[in-house]
Structure 1
């Protein structure tokens, strides 16, 4: 990264935060005029034509591919944990600034969102999927390439695939893959039901032994827009598809709408972080904190909780068709977090990109952000991707692929209270660390102990081998499977043979597939719910078959849910509950489609 870019970004960041007196309004796609829709598509095309800047602090010089690449690098760590919502809010904010920096998208307008749950039964009829805007939903191309519109094959360059996960047969980098599924999505009625949460932890479905981000709508949107083989269905490359930004605009509005029910929700943030979700070290604690920086982005979580806080955020959302009335909610008392003051040198930005960026994301400089920015100058030892291709030889037992695209940092094996990390690659099969690594003290001891246990798993054992940690016991069974038993709860996690445990967290364990080298999350066993049919509800309503009956949202494939690092049984249970809620709606409220008066009754279920 160019030192001048870092200096410019630092100068921009030192400017005092602006008051958010006139927030930009992010409007729903259908609320835009034809001219505004055209401007949005033109701005996207212009941003896509910009070269990657290889930095994420200054959106004025970021290109489209910067966003795709950083999302790919953080995909496994920015999903399924407390940072999911703030991470993507930061990403959307930087994207909005980058769109304005093209000179095409108006500086007084927020980027639009797509309220597809408001048209869950016929979302594919939106003009988004026309040649004039985002192009066809699917095609007969063997790689599912978009063939019409400004993002058609041959017109639009997708980002470099840092995870090597696209695997298109032609290898054409102008192929934007989209294979949308014309099926019902999660309806606004069910989504409104999930707004009746009394805390951020409850809102994100975080309970003991469970997992974040199990509300169906986010994953459903990715899958129905992307389909099998589509870029939108692949967390590593989903921002390649322009529909990503309209979907995640809605995702952010979903959080924003919940927050704006109670003042306390503007300060509420808690939960669990996964190992390595912050490459600079702030994310290694199991407990999430609003004082931590988000992965990739130069913002603390506390700066991202209030969209009208002015430091840096200053936007709001329009009311759209899916904003049906919510059930009354008893607000918790307001408890504002105490934040340590920061000091900053005098602002010196006077013009150019730095001044432009400063006016948008002004805040005060502290040592951590400066460290983050300067860290971009340092050539980190590359980790690369969790590869797809089976490995042989020394890396066959779970070794991590060498990188050829970008710099990232890998964190080592850790238990619940470990606070150290290392940079580099651990060769599991040979139980050695690469020669150019320097690891000392407790880290060396941790690596050695881990390597010993991992090596043990490669040979059959006659008796279980137990390794006691601070908050769990790791048992290697005679069949080479592993059992994680938590000492602070009754939960256990079973990991089959052929996987090497990489990290253990309060709500999941991550293990590396010894054949593919790819990570997989394992969870405590959750029994599947049984669907109980409503006596008065119609059965198996087809999409569009009735003017007011709702069809069930699509049940996503188990393989897709697992590829997203989610707990399938918890997802399945959420789907079953959604079906039963829709049954109740169809039985009791079948008068007029999306009637606010009828939705109110459903919302109280």
Structure 2
């Protein structure tokens, strides 16, 4: 995906030096946030989490992004604005770990959610996606869409209005829409997960995870979830990427601490390009802080002011001071 010059200009004009230079909030990790499979949450925990997302959808904006109506719009906007720079690149996994943490920070600080951060254990639903607990209309995220627009007809998000377009303008209104595809979801099979976890290098592991497990969740839910820019509008996005983040951590955990260092990750041979298809707009590349076209630990991750910026180095350790989490 390549953005036109005017869209890049809009992003950079909005971001400005103040936000791009914002410091990372530093505090010692003393109590780690638990990350738990959705299927293992109690009904009360599920409701509290769903209510927190509904809360973000009703919380006034906290940035100056034009036309947004709530924090949910802002979260979707910042992903759309960077879509061409956070997929199929070396920062795919680091950015989305940062992004999942940003969502967690917002539901905690703005909506008072302090329960487990759930992820979707996707291999368990291969072959029976339609019966997945995550799609339950009463205790989950609602089932598939209906009608020409494929809008949700049940669950807590059936009447949600989204408004961020691929042109980054907030004006058009549309629903959360899905078109469940169990065949595509078969790529989430455990054998594909195991293949990725067995990869020897970050470069190979990242490409494997993004190719099969990652695409499976998006393609299985389908609808809005297959829009590379706007998919965070569907609340299932956060549990899907919670799972992808767990896969990365599972891979990292096989060789600690070696896989938390630059030598095992981002260098000129295995780091991955920092922009898609070798496109290196100077405005973006200079902003990233890599001092070149290859991703380094100094690469800056941003949410355009929703939470402070971080670097790849900050998010490498899931249990470190920045993310401060553990999978249980």
Q: What TM-score results when the alignment is normalised by the length of structure 2?
A: 0.79
Equivalent of 1:84 in 89, 92, 116: 92
Q: Does the Cα contact within 8 Å between 2:165 and 2:172 map onto a contact in 1?
A: no
Q: Does the Cα contact within 8 Å between 1:121 and 1:185 map onto a contact in 2?
A: no
Q: Does the Cα contact within 8 Å between 2:32 and 2:324 map onto a contact in 1?
A: yes
Partner residue in 2 for 1:313: 323
Partner residue in 2 for 1:73: 81
| Structure 1 residues 281 and 115: alpha-carbon distance in aligned structure 2, compared to 1, 3 A threshold | closer
Query: Alpha-carbon deviation of 1:238?
Result: 0.1
Over the residues paired in the alignment, what is the CA RMSD in angstroms? 2.8
Equivalent of 2:134 in 128, 138, 144: 128
- What secondary structure does 1:49 align onto? coil
Q: String of CA shifts for 1:28-69, please: whole Å, max 9, x gaps.
A: 00000000001111111001112332379xxxxx81111100
**In 2: Cα distance, 1:87 partner to 1:15 partner:** 17
Query: Alpha-carbon deviation of 1:17?
Result: 2.8
Structure-to-structure mapping, 1:80-229, within 5 angstroms:
80-106=88-114, 109-132=115-138, 133-139=140-146, 141-152=147-158, 155-163=159-167, 173-183=173-183, 184-205=186-207, 215-226=211-222
Unaligned runs of 5+ in 2: 1-12
Equivalent of 1:302 in 302, 309, 313: 313
Q: Does the Cα contact within 8 Å between 1:80 and 1:213 map onto a contact in 2?
A: no
- What secondary structure does 2:118 align onto? coil
Structure-to-structure mapping, 1:534-549, within 5 angstroms:
none
Partner residue in 2 for 1:255: 248
Q: String of CA shifts for 1:252-295, please: whole Å, max 9, x gaps.
A: 00001000111111223221211245572525722211012125
**In 2: Cα distance, 1:97 partner to 1:300 partner:** 17
Q: Does the Cα contact within 8 Å between 1:51 and 1:65 map onto a contact in 2?
A: no
**In 1: Cα distance, 2:109 partner to 2:288 partner:** 31
1:266 aligns with 2:260: yes
Q: Does the Cα contact within 8 Å between 1:159 and 1:240 map onto a contact in 2?
A: no
**In 1: Cα distance, 2:265 partner to 2:58 partner:** 37
Partner residue in 2 for 1:357: none
For this pair of structures, how many residues does the alignment match?
287
Q: Does the Cα contact within 8 Å between 2:56 and 2:111 map onto a contact in 1?
A: no
**In 2: Cα distance, 1:278 partner to 1:32 partner:** 41
**In 2: Cα distance, 1:294 partner to 1:177 partner:** 29
Structure-to-structure mapping, 1:503-582, within 5 angstroms:
none
Q: Does the Cα contact within 8 Å between 1:96 and 1:110 map onto a contact in 2?
A: no
Unaligned runs of 5+ in 1: 57-61, 206-211, 319-605
Query: Alpha-carbon deviation of 1:90?
Result: 0.5
Query: Alpha-carbon deviation of 1:130?
Result: 2.6
Structure-to-structure mapping, 1:51-70, within 5 angstroms:
51-54=60-63, 63-70=71-78
Instruction: Specify which structure has the higher proportion of helix.
Output: 2
- What secondary structure does 2:98 align onto? helix
| Structure 1 residues 273 and 15: alpha-carbon distance in aligned structure 2, compared to 1, 3 A threshold | closer
**In 1: Cα distance, 2:74 partner to 2:210 partner:** 28
Q: String of CA shifts for 1:456-496, please: whole Å, max 9, x gaps.
A: xxxxxxxxxxxxxxxxxxxxxxxxxxxxxxxxxxxxxxxxx
- What secondary structure does 2:180 align onto? coil
Q: String of CA shifts for 1:514-543, please: whole Å, max 9, x gaps.
A: xxxxxxxxxxxxxxxxxxxxxxxxxxxxxx
Q: Does the Cα contact within 8 Å between 2:24 and 2:309 map onto a contact in 1?
A: no
Partner residue in 2 for 1:549: none
| Structure 1 residues 36 and 278: alpha-carbon distance in aligned structure 2, compared to 1, 3 A threshold | farther
- What secondary structure does 1:112 align onto? strand
**Which structure's CA Rg is the greater one?**
1
Partner residue in 2 for 1:243: 236
Q: Does the Cα contact within 8 Å between 2:193 and 2:209 map onto a contact in 1?
A: no
Equivalent of 2:300 in 253, 272, 293: 293
| Structure 1 residues 185 and 15: alpha-carbon distance in aligned structure 2, compared to 1, 3 A threshold | closer
Q: String of CA shifts for 1:321-369, please: whole Å, max 9, x gaps.
A: xxxxxxxxxxxxxxxxxxxxxxxxxxxxxxxxxxxxxxxxxxxxxxxxx
